Chains A and B, each alone.
Chain A
Amino acid sequence: MWTWFYKLASPPYVYGVAAALVPWALGGAALALCYGLIAGLAIAPPDYQQGEAFRMIYVHVPSALLSLTVYTVMAAASAVALIWRIKVGHAVASAAAPIGASFTILALFTGSLWGRPMWGTYWAWDPRLTSELILLFLYVGVMSLRSAFEDPSRGDRAAALLATVGIVNVPIVHFSVVWWNSLHQGATIVKLGAPSMPGSMLWPLLSMWLGFMLFFAAVLCIRLQGEVLNRERQSTWVRQAVKS
């Protein structure tokens, strides 16, 4: 039953799986993003309150959800690396960090642009915005900590510890709109009960979300191959891998 888990601890196996997944994930992402963009920008009707400005949801929500998903992946991989001493876990966490940071910046930037016409300001020290900014600081902290040590294994452990502890911020970001008074609207998709959108607006959003997730899978696999090569370059299997 646990064979698949042990296989994932093998760097050559992970390198091969990651290489095989890239074209499928990129192809799927391209299809989902194309549909999401066309349907979201040209077919979905304008919102009855926000008019055409609501279309920013098609990049803002997927990027915000991805910023939390990537952090969860990074923290889970870090925990696996710390608990079971599986080195591939550090490679996954290291590969995920810059991707997550970039999507957090995108979520903050698009949220800021959306906030200007709706709230009258680009930024407010609102619980959702502030906790998302803390998420960005956590990503930056994890990346900085990893490269701050001369001994890479010490850097890996320190970064893994911060990433694992920092997971506490993920539910804070998600539930901040419920726990505190917030300018930010409540959850649209990830909540108990039916989504609060009609299908004509919801399907393009789900498609963009899927596209972003598949894109993340693709770039994670590419980065992961690089991470594994960097960490295993003394191994004999690397000779075969760098030939191709």
Chain B
Amino acid sequence: MAKKISRSDISESDIFGGVKASAEGAITVIDELNDALKKSAETLSKDIKGVKFGSAKEIKEFTKAIKEANKLKEDTVKLDKERAKFIQEIEKIEQQEEKTKQQKIKTQQQELRLARQLKQEKEKENKTRQRAIKLENDENNAYKKLVKSTRDQKNESKRLAVELINLERAGKKNSKEWRKLNTEYKKVTKSAQQGDKALKKIDGTVGDNFRNVGNYRQALGKLTSVLGGLGLAFGGIQLLRSAGKTVADFGQSVADLTAITGASGKDLEFFKKQAIELGKDVEGGATAVVEAYKLIASAKPELLENAEALDAVTQSAITLSQASGLDLPDASIRLTDALNQFGAPAEQAGKFIDILANGAKFGSAEIPQITDALLKFGSVSKTTNVSIAESTALIEALAEKGLKGAEAGTALRNIMIKLSAPDALPKKAQDALNKLGISFEDLTDESKPFSERLKALKPLLDDNGALMDVFGLQNEVAAINLLESTDRVAELTEMMDKNGTATEQAEERTGTLAFALIQVKNAWDSWILSMSEGTGASEGFTWVLQKLAENFTTIMKVIIRIGFAWVTYKTAILGAKAVTFLFGGGLQDMYKQMVKSVRGFKLMGRGAKKMGRDVKSAGKAMYAVPWIAIIALVTELAIALYNASSASAELRRQQMLTDAYTQTSNEQAQKRITERTDTNAKEVAELERKRDVELASVKDTKKRMEIEAKFLKQKEKIISSTKKVIKADITLVNNQKARFKPFKEELDLINKKIKAEGKAHTQTEAMIDLQKRVAKELKLEGDASWVSWFTGEKDLVTFKKVQRTINAKIAGANEKLKLYHGELDNISESQKDINTEITVQNIKITDNTDKVKGLTGATKKLNAEFSDQIKFMKELNDLKEDSLALDKDIAELETEKKVEEKEEKIEDAVKKAVNLARTKGVAEIGVAMDLIGEKEEMLIKGAERELDFSIKQAQKEHDLKFQLLQANLDKELKEKLTQKGLTPEQIQSIKDGYKREQNELDFLKIEAQKTLNKEITVLTKETEADIRGIKKETADEEIQLLTDVNEAQEEFEEKQRGADTKTNDKRLADLREWADKSRAIIKAVSDFWIKKSNEKIAGYDKEISKAEEQSKILQKLAENGNINAQQSLAEQNRLIAEANKKKLAEERKQQAVKQASVILETYLSKVEADEKNPLLATIQDIALLNAFIATIPSALEGTEDTGANGVGIDGKGGFHAILHPNERVLTKEQNRKVGNLSNEELASFANEYNTGQLINKSGAYQIGNGWNTGAIVERLESLENTIKNKPETNVQIEDIVQGAMTITRETRKGNSKVYNRYKIKG
């Protein structure tokens, strides 16, 4: 067993981490000290540079300063040395870490290798042991002995048969040697046959039929041929290969898990089982899950003691992986890292992933960035009592300011460390905190949330120097961001506690076609693994393929369904009416059927598990056909693509029309605005002309002022009336828009209904009425296709066109409104300016009156005059400010009121939309969305107005400040000039002084304006941020609306599914139609098979008949003693037997097809009867039938005795039995005569008798009750006589005498001899 990973192994990196962190901390401190030294150096440098050595004191101070400079330098050198040392140390640690890491990897690899070796050795050992046990068992086991002896005898029989053949070929048939061999052969063969028979009997008794099943290759071959017969491709080899790899990878992965974690026995089984189950929903499957177990167990060794806890954390890692898009190993590492950083137990894994997901959802940083940051400061968070939720909120708050990942983590670590121990801060920093009244107790109070502790530091925001002293230059930006975001941190922290977000996000991310395909593949892999885990890979495979073949008929109907749908789809797509088909909902119907099929599959697979073995097998076999699911998913993809393309086309058309209307409206509105502007300009010019004429004839200041005031009032009047005209235009456009809106809502409803039902509607009265109203309103009567836009493709297009027109008109109206509102805003501003001018003018008039009065009285002093002037200016400014503030308050109040009204409207619209979705299933969200959009617009305008006010106010304050300064300067000048007895030089000097001060004032004014501009930029940016916030809120509101409506719609659909009987009837009618079509296909397929099968059977019959005729002829020849004929007869009989066997097999196939047809018919009937799960019901029925059939005795293998235990169903002790074609049944009496002969022996005898190896009827009757010896004697006597009377002839050649040769012929008959001599001359 490999060494377990110990806790110390895992914590090694932490030791390094601590040292490293401490070194890094030291570097930070050194850097801060360096910064302080640098500052001192800068100050000192300035001092030294200015030394002139003018006095002893100066020289003394200089001496002191150079000492200080030297000390600073020495300190810096020392610090640099220390810093370099720490850097070296960090580098060393990093090298050490890397070395340890490498060492660890090496050790792990070695351990793995060792584990593998051990495993292999163990396996080898096991195999050897098992083989020995098997051998021993075989030797001791009677059954095995029989198997062995039978096998040996079979082999011996084969060997002898070959030798016999060889002898026959050598012409030694019937020789002594041959006969001996033949006797032995028969003996051995008979014994082998008896052994085989006995074995089959034993196997049959225990239900083991393996002797009738080939290996998996045969099973695969069978399946492939069956599929091939139907023209379906089946990549058997590829399936095998892929499955083999899956099994091998998984095996390796499990071996690694054992090596690293030491898991074994029950725990290992549990992990394997869970990995297979969880792997179904994980990219990478069961192997990836095992990998995750490994990583998590390594990171949290305490989990090694608790398999369930390890599994639970792994499940959380899977959810995190799915929610974040990280791969599972990465997600596992990040989750355990986070848990370890906070020292959290495994039970909190679920909470952690929800917090991470909440962070990603409500903030800017994604999960990987959050975990990167946590890795840097998690442990510090833990020690400073900052929860994972608040830590995540802190990360998100910094992310919103652009600081993310490890960088944010490091900054947070530094800040937390400083806050946790303010006493350890440099003295300067402590002084700064004390000066600002920041309590150290508040900072270190760990009972408070961290955001509260941060709040205590807020005064630092007003003192940059102190901020830098406390946090150092490196952390300054992060600290500012955090201090500015304390409220946001608190807000985010609350959001982090929402439960279930990780699961929600995981579901969202995995609800894709790509993930569905991964799931299909994983389902297949899981199934393969579960098979291999249960029975061993190769056995599992054989079983699968066998079951696939056996249950092919059941599987076929699903394929037919999908195939039918697929063919319909292809035909429709390729055909000219493809568009009509798609619009008519054909594709959707087909798709629904497919999805049903796939669902049926899964359901059946699940339900089947609870049933008997046969049903279970069928269920699993069918579950293992992934391509069906793939076809369905491909179709889904096709639909998605179609929808996307058609939707984008529609969007394009909509956009074009909207652009056109927006353009026209823009032009119309611009024209109106230009006309108004021109008219205004002309009228104002006329007024100016009149004013100038009047002014030309008047010299009195007051009167001139009055003329000016009059002019302003008239100008204001013109603007006021123009405002009224603009408002009238706005009302007009709003009215137009209001007229379109109800129609748009109604049209949207109809559109939704069409979409929901998937096909065109028949026109209803309400629709025709609406059509007329809309047509009248939009002036669309002239559109020919409008009349019946619900009846077909063309009409649907027109319907879309109508919708587009309405949408475009609304967009056009909005464009006009936008421009008119802009114009109104501008003119309102002008009006306000004029009002201000009027006020100023009035003040001037009053002021002038006072001055005049003062002059006439000649008693008022000049000082008073100027004081009054300044006072007036102040008052005037206050007035302007009041006016502006009032405008702003009024506008704010109005906006608030409008927003409140809008919110009420939104609430109503949302309620309506939700009700509509709940009651009618229609998602009509247009009105609510528009209102939310309008609210957003209002809020944004409000924010912009506030910005505008703030800018104006700031500008006015600036102006006033300089007006006052200017006034004071003027006052001073006048005061000086009014002094008595001034010489011209003195006057000139006063004037020069004034000029200088004036220049300075002007310069100051420009500089102040620059500062003001910067302030304005800040204000603008803040407003932009506010606007972003408003937009985000709007988006949230819209998402909420969509969620509510979707939920309501789902509720409706749920209700609808249960209650809508009308739809149900239609569905049933569709099902019936589908069943009829399927029936037709099934019938065609069955008929084809049966026809082909019948043709084959007829061929076999013909073959048998001819062979039998031939056999008869040979029989006769054999009877006449023809040896060759006897041999041919045996061959002929063999051929007949073979043909009969083939015929039998074919008849069985035919029966299987008929049975399949019956099963399909049963299934279709169940569908028509609207069974909840027709497939399952069919299988249950078939399973019952199979179970019943299994109880009926069968003599397919033949039987010598049917036994004595009948049930007496016919009063004679009879019972049901299954017979097959061409079997023979003997009566009890006949069977008694056969005696102890086995069927095989009986058949052999009969065969030998038939082939003439036994003497036949015409030659002897000895096969019967006894020997008829008389007949034999008679025969023998006859034979003796024949032999006696048989003539014998002998020819001899005599000597040659006188050139002639003599030949003598001796003929003997009975006891007499006759000699004949012949002479032959040459």
Query: Do A and B come together as binding partners?
Result: no
